[in-house]
Structure 1
């Protein structure tokens, strides 16, 4: 899949169009994905890629013409028998609000349909209204709330527990 992301320079009004493609994320991509989270997060992504090799998940990358990932995210087929569960969705901060997240999700939804599943699900933190607005714009509806928690590695290497409340959302495909 090839599409383009458009970005406008706020000072000159010029527009730059960059073609992007979507493919499977592979282990060699991980060093260029440090923008997506901590070292601990990248270790989780690495484990997800092992699961992808086993067919349990898909892990996608939206890439620039030089094949650098600028958006990534996974689809877990083991979390539910009826749905594909989107998780670890991330877009390079400098390129947010340029359509990359939409492209990533639409491609993930097609992968879910290709697996014979008719619904996509995801969880979004309550304190992330921007992401929730994107999901709602794409047709996802909230159906429940649940607490979630994970360990995060700080810049100094210390581990702290992150606890949050998530809104569960789903969309029929």
Structure 2
């Protein structure tokens, strides 16, 4: 038997309290870093939550400092049990709305060369590769030690256009039928 369950999502600002339930998104080291970054005024963290329970199931960063004229998306993560359900798409689209609201012309992100599923998602959403660069960050090993993770990331960009409000067309009554007679 197969059944489908629909869980409404709420996307809002991530809070420090949410991090207690985001262990799926990274190590203690990563979550401590996110907690510090929440205090920045040139960045926003979003969280996708199950609307009724408030359980975090996806998250992402918008960094307004990294690239002039763009909001740079980063640290995008979806609970492993819920990947490929549209949550990542919802987080990216919500981030793009925030970037658009600031009047910035582009959204940017980077994706590891070894992550073709994520790259395919970003391409479906309209992001185009324009280069690559080495990247790295500290990560916590299973034994608690800290090591440097080095990788190469593909840089991707998408124009964020302001969607002008289109005025509603006035409704007109259909022409009256000719008099019968």
| TM-score with structure 2 setting the length | 0.86
- Looking at structure 2, the residues matched to 149 and 77 of structure 1 have their Cα atoms a distance apart, in angstroms, of 20
Which residue of structure 2 aligns with residue 145 of structure 1?
A: 132
Match of 1:45 among 8, 21, 34: 34
- Looking at structure 1, the residues matched to 54 and 92 of structure 2 have their Cα atoms a distance apart, in angstroms, of 19
State the number of aligned residues: 159
Which segments of 5 or more consecutive residues in structure 1 lack a partner in the other structure? 1-11
Runs of 4+ aligned structure 1 residues displaced above 4 Å come to none
Larger radius of gyration, structure 1 or 2? Answer: 2
Do residues 85 (structure 1) and 97 (structure 2) align? no
Cα deviation for residue 47 of structure 1 reads 1.5
| TM-score with structure 1 setting the length | 0.90
- Looking at structure 1, the residues matched to 121 and 138 of structure 2 have their Cα atoms a distance apart, in angstroms, of 26
- Looking at structure 2, the residues matched to 116 and 108 of structure 1 have their Cα atoms a distance apart, in angstroms, of 13
Which residue of structure 2 aligns with residue 3 of structure 1?
A: none
Map Cα deviations across residues 78-134 of structure 1 (whole Å, 9 max, x no partner): 112200000000000000000000000000000001111010000100000000000
Which segments of 5 or more consecutive residues in structure 2 lack a partner in the other structure? 161-181
- Looking at structure 2, the residues matched to 103 and 39 of structure 1 have their Cα atoms a distance apart, in angstroms, of 25
Match of 1:36 among 6, 25, 28: 25
Which residue of structure 2 aligns with residue 128 of structure 1?
A: 115
Per the alignment, in what secondary structure is the counterpart of residue 142 of structure 1? strand
Match of 2:45 among 59, 79, 85: 59
Map Cα deviations across residues 20-56 of structure 1 (whole Å, 9 max, x no partner): 11000001111100000011110111122111xxx21
Cα deviation for residue 143 of structure 1 reads 0.1
Which residue of structure 2 aligns with residue 154 of structure 1?
A: 141
Which residue of structure 1 aligns with residue 177 of structure 2?
A: none
- Looking at structure 1, the residues matched to 138 and 47 of structure 2 have their Cα atoms a distance apart, in angstroms, of 24
- Looking at structure 1, the residues matched to 37 and 54 of structure 2 have their Cα atoms a distance apart, in angstroms, of 20
Cα deviation for residue 161 of structure 1 reads 1.2
- RMSD across aligned positions (CA): 0.7
Do residues 99 (structure 1) and 86 (structure 2) align? yes
